[in-house]
Amino acid sequence: SGLHRTPLSGGVQNATLRCDLPSPAVAVRNLVEQAQFAHLCTVMSNMHHRRAGYPFGSLVDFAADGAGHPVLSPLAIQTRNLLEDPRCSVVVQMPGWTGLANARVTIFGDVHKLPGPELQEQAQEIFHSKHATRANRGGRYVSGNSVFFRMNRILDIYFVGGFGTVQWVDVEEYSRVQPDSIVLCNPSRTLQVLNETYSARVRELLSRRDLPADDAAFISIDGRGADVRVRTGGEYSVERIGFDQA
């Protein structure tokens, strides 16, 4: 066992194998479990006469249920838009975002308000479990909006990985797979411990004699390895630290 480094290079088709990444479907499940927020893009309703029919995007609190379907707490404008037209897209990006080298996914589908107090309470529990744990808070999670919506129907998934993986992900495959167990067990805490313990050593590993790294931080983890954000001067990149399978 041990660690090995995979540099960010090579062709698109070989990226998953070369970097020993999870399959794209599993990578997306991992991503939605680790993401803290999402960009919700809705169609402006007729109530907004000046921009009716135009896309409206804004940041919202985000979580996913056990099937990987987005559960959202939209703002007032988005709520009115969704009630009139449920078609939307949800853009989720990896925590620690620094640019286009980071993984992100766009999920297309129809979002509807969860009916009844029981499902609303379940959504509240999902948000509490995710966000309160992430923030290391003992208190309950409090959303800016007490009404929760769910993407009941996922129509398509477009995934852009951080290592050259760019593709449409089959929705049925996405629904069948499970996220890696490591991302279901407080990954924020895992990353915190990794950074506290190994950040300096990883920075040395990722430095070159002519170009030393100024900072290295673990930003995501999965069953096959971890992604590290590297800062050199004012430039950022992402490197893959793989777990040996021996």
SS3 of 3-22: the string is EEEECCCCCCCCHHHHCCCC
Shared domain for 56 and 95, answered yes or no, is yes
Shared domain for 104 and 136, answered yes or no, is yes
Number of domains in the chain: 2
Shared domain for 172 and 81, answered yes or no, is yes
* Local structure of 232: helix, strand or coil: strand
Q: pLDDT (tens digit, 9 = 90+) per residue, 152-172? A: 999 999 999 865 678 899 999
136's CB contacts (< 8 A; 6+ apart) are: 188, 189
How much is the pLDDT for 103?
84
The pLDDT of 13-21, averaged and rounded, is: 53
Q: Give the confidence band of 99 by pLDDT, cuts at 50, 70, 90.
A: low
Q: Between residues 125 and 100, which one has the greater pLDDT? A: 125
How much is the pLDDT for 220?
86
**In this model, does residue 9 exceed pLDDT 90?**
no
Shared domain for 42 and 145, answered yes or no, is yes
Shared domain for 193 and 158, answered yes or no, is no
Q: Between residues 27 and 186, which one has the greater pLDDT? A: 27
Residue 183 lies in a domain: no
Shared domain for 156 and 193, answered yes or no, is no
Mean of the per-residue pLDDT values for the chain?
82
Residue 45 lies in a domain: yes
How much is the pLDDT for 2?
35
Question: 107-135 burial by CB neighbour count: b if 16+ within 10 A, else e?
Answer: bbbebebbeeeeeeebbbebbbebbeebe
pTM of the model: 0.82
Shared domain for 59 and 129, answered yes or no, is yes
| CATH number for the domain that contains residue 159 | 2.30.110.10
Q: Is the dihedral of CA 29, 108, 16, 221 positive or negative?
A: negative
Shared domain for 132 and 227, answered yes or no, is no
Shared domain for 126 and 55, answered yes or no, is yes
> Where would I find the H helices in 143-186?
171-176
Ranges assigned E (strand) in 101-210: 104-113, 149-160, 166-169
Shared domain for 47 and 167, answered yes or no, is yes
Q: pLDDT (tens digit, 9 = 90+) per residue, 167-187? A: 899 999 999 999 999 988 888
Residue 96 lies in a domain: yes
Q: pLDDT (tens digit, 9 = 90+) per residue, 105-142? A: 999 999 999 999 999 999 998 888 877 655 444 445 55
Residue 1 lies in a domain: no
Two tokens, residue 121: 């309470």
How much is the pLDDT for 234?
83
**Structural domain that includes position 54:** 9-178
